[in-house]
Amino acid sequence: MQEIIDAHTHLSERGDDALNRFARKNGLRYTLDELLSTMRRYKIGRGLLLSPPLQGGAPLPNEEVIRLCMRSDGMLAPVITVEPALKEVRAALKLAEENRRVVKAFKVRLGYVKASAESPVFDWLYDYAESEGLPVLFHTGDTAFSTGDLARSHPLTLDRLANKREELTMILCHFGNPWFEDVAELIYKHPNVYADISGLFTGGAYAEKYAEWLAKKISEAVYFAAGAEKIIFGTDYPITKHSETLALVKGLEVDEPDKEKILHLNAERVFGL
């Protein structure tokens, strides 16, 4: 098997990073050295780095994500987060153009921002992403904080956008948890819609049973979609540990070739890695 690709990971090395509490809960140092050494341990050759939220709700500036990737010896590539304001969209596209050889995707934080996926403010982003063949990742499903807006992060809110933007490669993060069946329908219905399996573990008294339930849900999605061509591996480090998501893939009741697609083949194709 070729090296695994982690298509969804976070890092900042800042004290005001809102994900520090998840890192402490998981016993992680949450540093670049730790992330890279863990990737090597689990034979994860490449990863995509996304902005974590900072205290107060704003994402880590994209420039800092790019700088972290430059320190990773080629193991990490940046995903640019785009906030719903015309000024922010322009700045994100300018940065992407300046770093077009390394930027692999964009991210829209549905549920954390006061905008839907169809908001006109994102039109320029979608136009650019289509023209450059760059995917757009959308947060879907449960939010890490109780102030999140589930009405905007429900995966079915992306159905009309996928209908209107058939050339836009869309990736639904976190498999729309807990709306797995809705995401299974979306990836089956739309040729341009994919989903990642990042950030699905939260611990708790029933962690083992929950892991079994997750494996069942993702396996059923593969059955419904008639294959695993639309499912992408991601951890959501530090919210979820690498070992947990790798164990999830191992526990799927699907053929080994489909596990290979999930672990690296789909990401290689979708992100051009």
Report residue 242's pLDDT band, with 50, 70 and 90 as the boundaries. very high
Quickly count: other Cβ atoms within 10 Å of residue 101's Cβ: 6
Q: What residues contact 270, with CB distance under 8 A and at least 6 apart?
A: 135, 169, 171, 194, 232
State the residue range of the domain holding 67. 4-271
How far is it, in rounded angstroms, from Cα 7 to Cα 199? 11
Q: Identify the CATH number of the domain in which residue 228 sits.
A: 3.20.20.140
* 68-91 residue pLDDT tens: 999 999 999 999 999 999 999 999
- Contact at 8 Å (CB) between 102 and 69? yes
User: pTM of the predicted model, to two decimals?
Assistant: 0.96
Q: Distance between CA 81 and CA 66 in Å, rounded?
A: 11
| Pair 238, 29: CB distance under 8 Å | no
Ranking 39-53, 136-150, 174-188 by mean pLDDT, the lowest is: 136-150
Domain count, the chain: 1
Taking the C-alpha atoms of residue 8 and residue 245, their distance in angstroms, rounded to an integer, is 11
Q: What is the pLDDT of residue 143?
A: 87
State the average pLDDT for the chain: 96
Query: How would you write 175-237 as a 3-class SS string?
Result: HHCCCHHHHHHHHHHCCCEEEECCCCCCCCCCHHHHHHHHHHHHHHHHHHHCCCCCEECCCCE
Average pLDDT of 53-67? Answer: 96
% of the chain surpassing 90 pLDDT: 93
Confidence check: pLDDT of 144 > 90: no
- 166-196 pLDDT, tens digit per residue, is 999 999 999 999 999 999 999 999 999 999 9
Q: Which pLDDT score is estimated for 1?
A: 59
Whether the predicted pLDDT of 2 surpasses 80: no
pLDDT tens per residue, range 194-218? 999 999 987 778 989 999 999 999 9
Cβ atoms of 266 and 232 closer than 8 Å: yes
Phi, psi of 161 (to 5 degrees): -65, -40
14 CB burial (10 A radius; 0-12, 13-18, 19+):
middle
